[in-house]
Every structure is written in structure tokens, then in C-alpha cells.
Structure 1
């Protein structure tokens, strides 16, 4: 091969190596501008007593905002409420979503209709459904009427901490089941039919086929759903803001509603940024633990 022939080949190889980066560039730029920069900016603001009117006059205070958070009982209450919401909503969404996916896997003429009906809550507005559930769980609302039509002693669902958390969790479960269902349904439909046919020929019943064939095949989807639901559980915001406003006496505050009240109510952006950074760290650690457990289980199964 001559030098003239080698030069175009080298140029073509370099263009091929550059092509993927050209396609990735718009998304990468958007990710850096919309995600990475705000995170770094929030981390910087958390080290300052931030002046809203003039960043130049903001006072550097180091880790004082973080120390304040660790000594703030409302922050710990909000973190506990976020964790409680996550515990109350994640298992039901996984169990019910998987159950619906198994039911809808069977082919029937009405299958598309049921898929749309179960997925419809996912695409509804959080504001609309939060106000709807606030009405349903009101003292004179439908839930109390169903429990006691005489309404002699209605439960004040939204006036106590744990009753309000149950009402808010009910909304989260109702709205999130359809999303889990669609992920599991896609995973179940990706299982080769030959595997289930072989298990049936070996005498496996329905439960054994699910446990031995289906569950291992959808385990990656299960891990994905679990991680995303945990992240979403700690990011609950609109439903709490509209249903209870964090009350009574900030008993139902979650991390994001408390962050919102600190940053935009008290205009304490430095402390609000510190809370945001702490929440990011908590969610990151939990996600890493879940992924580590998933990888360990996958290695054991192999």
C-alpha cells in the first residue's frame, strides 16, 4: 500500500472515531449545563451564607450549614418522613406492578384497554391528583364516608403525621403502579417462549415457571425499578406540598418541602443548598448499595 492510499484510510478511521462524539455532543452539553453545573453551583453555595441580592457580598462559612443541618430536628424529621414515604410506597409498587404485568401478559382483545387504564395515572398531573386526594382524605371526604357513612367520628387524615403519610403514600402508590407495570411487562415479553415451554414440558407449574424462569430473566428490570423508585421516593414534593403543606407544625415535612421553605420562604439559599447536597449524597449511597446487592446476587446466580 502506498502512502497516498494509507492517508485516506487513516482519515476515514479518524472520522469514524469522531462520529459517535458528534452525536453525543448535544446531549452531553445539555447534561453538563442542566445537571452537572447546578450540582457544582449548589455545592459551592452550601459553603456560604449566601446573599440573594449580591453573590459578591456572600460570606464564606465553610461547613457551618452542614453542621446546622445535623443539629436541626426539622431536617431529621423531614429525612425520616422521606424514608417512611419510600418504605410505604416502593414495595407495593413493585408487587402490584409485577402482578398486573403478569396478568396483562396474557393475550386478550381487551389487553390494550387495560394497559391504558392502568397507565393513565402515571401521565396525569401531580397537581390535579394531589388536590383530588386531598379532597378524598378530607375530614368530610369520600374515604371517611366509605369507612363510616354516618360520619360520626371521621379520621383527620391530614391533621396528624402518620395518618397524613399514609394518605400521601396512597397517592404515590396509585400513581406509580402503572409505571412499574410497563417496565415489568416489557421485561416479561422479552423472555424467550422456548424457556417457558421447556419448563412446562419438565412438569413445572405456574409458580415454578415464574420462580425459575421469569424472575431471573426480569431481575435486571427489577433492579432498575427498585433504584428508580427509591430515588423517586426521596424526591417526593408536590403531593406533600399540596396535601399538607408540611403541617401540622412541620410534622409531615419531607426533605424537598423543607428545602423549598428554607430556600424560597426564608431566602436562606446557603442552608437550602446544603440540604440539597445531603439529599443527593443519601440517594447516591442508597443507589450504590442497591446496585452492589444486585451485582452480588447476579454473580451468585451465575
Structure 2
């Protein structure tokens, strides 16, 4: 009996060692999990690399340049200035003028784009044979080049342009000889008009996408309860499109502070720099005067301002969302 038991013990140990030597399902499962875990990163890697090269690296380089008297021509070495460029910006009256103009542009273009974009989206929400045509017509300015529309509006607001002809010779509301682009406020009005005209279609498309998520049963229930259009909009539609509203407001404010092409092509910052915005002033310092250090400092300051404004907006919308839902 002892011999048989000993043989069985030896056989069991051998089988155990052979089983341990074979790759089990756990080891194969671990390999598949590893591949599954790496697959998303492989898909994300090209975009992440492009983002790092095109966005992150230039931002880091701009911050570095803002602390130097940066030289790009000749053999001179860039001189470290510390915070001198930032102190210069704080003391620069023209910088504050350009920042004020950027704020004016933002304040006079963002609200009209939101109101008109939402109004057009509500009008085009209903199905009709002409709905696709009107959507294309309202969205057409969005895909049109900024250069093209800026030059178009420059000629419209010229001394003998269509605006003066319409207001003066046709409607007799003005004398017809207004130099729109020769004064600060009239030039800013023309630039703001272009910004509103070009941006309404973009806001409309975002709001249209948000309106697709409005629960129809809630609208029908509100109608049965006797709610009018304004009450249905406030109690049902607005809470449903609140995330779209947040996205539109934040993106339009960022775009308002970053206005550049229309100002550069319509007025060039004139007359005497009175219509300069931050980006045109930064462009002038960097590429006209080759003062890349100061231009980089201006860009960093603008980035910080836009970031702070965006954070405040997110906080206000988060606090306001409870009141809207109520």
C-alpha cells in the first residue's frame, strides 16, 4: 500500500509541475487586458502629439520669450529682462486702449449673436420645405473667409460705399458722407456689425443642436396646462439648452477678445491707433518693430485675462443653472 501511495504522490507532483509550466488562461487574459488598455492611447497619440507640437510648445515658448528682449535677427544674444515687459505693459496707455477696444467689441457682439442666433434657431426648428435653404443661408457667412468679408465690409462702409448711399441718397437719414472708418467709434461700430453678421449662423447651429434634445412630452404637457410660448420657453426649452448656452457664451467671449483679422484689414488699427485691439497691437509690436519679447508678454496677459473671464462665466452659469431649472 505504501508503494502505491508513493507512486500516486509522485504522479500528482509531476502533473502539478506540468500544469504550472503551461501558460494558463489568467496569463493570456492579462496580455489581452494589456493590449486593450494600450489601444485607446494609440488612437489618442497622434492628436496628443499634434496638440503638443502646435499648441503646448508655442505657449511655453511664448511665456519664455516674454521674459527676454528676444532677438531673432543677427548674432545678438537675447537679454533676460525678468518682469520688465509685463511692467511696461501695465504702464503702456496704448495697451489699455487696445484692451478697452477688445472689451467693447466683445460686449457689443456677443449678446446680439446669442439673442439673434437663438431666435433664428427657434424659427428654423419647425419642419418646412424652405428650412434647409434658410439654414444654409444663415450659416454661409460662418464658412466664408474672414479676409473676404472684412474687405467686403470695408468697401460697404467706405466714404462712397453702399451704407452711405443707402442711409443718405436712398433713405435720407444721413447726409451720406459719413467717414465710417475714419473715427474710432464709427469704425468700431462697423467692425462690430461684421462680427455680429458673421457669428449669428454659428450660434444658430449650436442652438439648433441643443433644441433637438428638448423633451417634446414636456412641451406638450406645458401646453395642456395652459402655458404660453414664453412660459414654455422659460420652463422647458431654456433648461434643456442650458449646456449649449454655456458653450456658446464661453466660445463667443473668447472669440471676442481674440478679434484680429477684421480690425487689421478694415482699419489697420487707425486712425492713429484708436481702433487697435490687443492682437493687432501685439502683431505690430512683434512683426513691425521686431519686439517679440514685449509682444509675447501681451499675448500672455491676454491669455490670463481670457482664462479668468472663462472661469467666472463657468462659475456664474453653474450657480445660475439651479435657478433656471427651478
Alignment of 1:44 with 2:67, yes or no, is no
Tell me the alpha carbon deviations over residues 125-147 of structure 1, each in whole angstroms, 9 at most, x when there is no partner: 11111111011111111111211
Q: The residue matched to 1:277 in structure 2 has which SS?
A: helix
Specify the alignment match of 2:229 in structure 1: 206
Specify the alignment match of 2:203 in structure 1: 180
Deviation at 1:299, TM superposition (A): 4.4
Taking the TM superposition and a 5 Å limit, the aligned residue runs for 1:163-242 are: 163-242=186-265
Alignment of 1:156 with 2:204, yes or no, is no
Taking the TM superposition and a 5 Å limit, the aligned residue runs for 1:63-142 are: 63-142=83-162
> Within 1, Cα distance between the matches of 2:312 and 2:302?
15
Moved more, 114-123 or 138-147: 138-147
> Within 1, Cα distance between the matches of 2:108 and 2:159?
22
Which structure 1 residue ranges, 4+ long, deviate > 3 Å from structure 2?
Answer: 150-153, 299-302
Task: Give the one of 282, 287, 302 matched to 1:264.
Answer: 287
Q: Which runs of 5+ in 2 are unaligned?
A: 1-18
Moved more, 196-205 or 84-93: 196-205
Moved more, 53-62 or 92-101: 53-62
Deviation at 1:55, TM superposition (A): 8.1
> Within 2, Cα distance between the matches of 1:196 and 1:264?
56
Q: 1:152 to 1:211 in 2, by over 3 A?
A: closer
Specify the alignment match of 2:6 in structure 1: none
> Within 2, Cα distance between the matches of 1:53 and 1:266?
12
Max Rg structure: 2
Pairs aligned (count): 302
Q: Which has the bigger relative contact order, CA under 8 A and spacing at least 6?
A: 1
Task: Give the one of 242, 255, 259 matched to 2:278.
Answer: 255
Tell me the alpha carbon deviations over residues 189-211 of structure 1, each in whole angstroms, 9 at most, x when there is no partner: 12121121111122211111111
Deviation at 1:255, TM superposition (A): 0.5
> Within 1, Cα distance between the matches of 2:308 and 2:46?
29
Tell me the alpha carbon deviations over residues 66-101 of structure 1, each in whole angstroms, 9 at most, x when there is no partner: 000001111111000000000010000000000000
Q: 1:55 to 1:21 in 2, by over 3 A?
A: farther
Q: CA RMSD in A?
A: 1.6
Tell me the alpha carbon deviations over residues 240-294 of structure 1, each in whole angstroms, 9 at most, x when there is no partner: 0010000001000001100111000000000000001001101111111101111
Deviation at 1:154, TM superposition (A): 1.7
What is the TM-score with the length of structure 2 in the denominator? 0.89
